[in-house]
Structure 1
């Protein structure tokens, strides 16, 4: 169990996730095709040469799921009951093939569960940064998180 228990979390706690990930062309094309997204900005290099970006940009849904996925080991692995939702998803800068992303998570909300005495609801704010330290993605994620089991 690598995640943290609800009762071990504090609002304002920031977790710097040790895993970093360089995003590849394969990541982008496979994810985009697997999700049936025909957007030219992810798949058509010639089209993108004539845009402000000049090259394909990475599918933002891939960026979102990578950001959250990297956070799981240090936050919810083995301690989560359920993911309850994502809010305020933003992509302030594009991700390109070859960008290396690092992720940090801040605990921004905690409350006891009204229906489950062994769990609480946590709100995480995830932030993804590229190798230039530019914020490329943010989101808030709410989850139902287990409390440390009572021994006895």
Structure 2
């Protein structure tokens, strides 16, 4: 297998306090429908437009985990760690703050909160990022703490 092509940045190139912003994506009703099919979550809150007209939301809404998946995808599309990230170690402190609605245009925004060299894998660094997904009304839909492993710059031999 080939090593991934590095277009992103190594651990050493990323600084605590650095802010990164993604491009935007508009969520369509079809996206919500497809996610219901992929996840198997056909809850009425996501699938029954007529029933949801009388709800506190006034319409059907997207899955919270769909919002997380969209945020992760928007983060990846920035290419800031393409070829250097090895894995997401976890998502912590996830909070769903506002519903994701069909027609919302969303953007991922995050700040590198902490970084350290992995004790068990010294060729990797661990980043902790404070992340949020916001819509066109500047409402925060989702917040969370993303922990990921990033390659360190290879030592010249």
Aligning the two structures, in what range does the TM-score lie when normalised by the shorter sequence? over 0.9
- Whole-angstrom CA distance in 2 between matches of 1:21 and 1:44: 23
Question: What do the CA deviations read for 1:24-83 (whole angstroms, capped 9, x no partner)?
Answer: 000001101211002101000111011011110111111101101111233332111221
TM-score, normalization by structure 1: 0.94
* Root mean square deviation, CA, Å: 1.2
Counterparts of 1:28-107 in structure 2, within 5 Å, are: 28-72=32-76, 73-107=78-112
Deviates more, 1:91-100 or 1:75-84: 75-84
- Whole-angstrom CA distance in 1 between matches of 2:112 and 2:141: 19
* Of 13, 17, 20, the match for 1:12: 17
Matched pairs, number: 151
- Whole-angstrom CA distance in 1 between matches of 2:144 and 2:82: 19
| Structure 1 stretches lacking a partner, 5+ long | none
Tell me which stretches of 4 or more aligned residues in structure 1 moved more than 4 Å: none
TM-score, normalization by structure 2: 0.91
Q: What secondary structure, in the 3-state scheme, does the structure 2 residue paired with 1:32 have?
A: helix
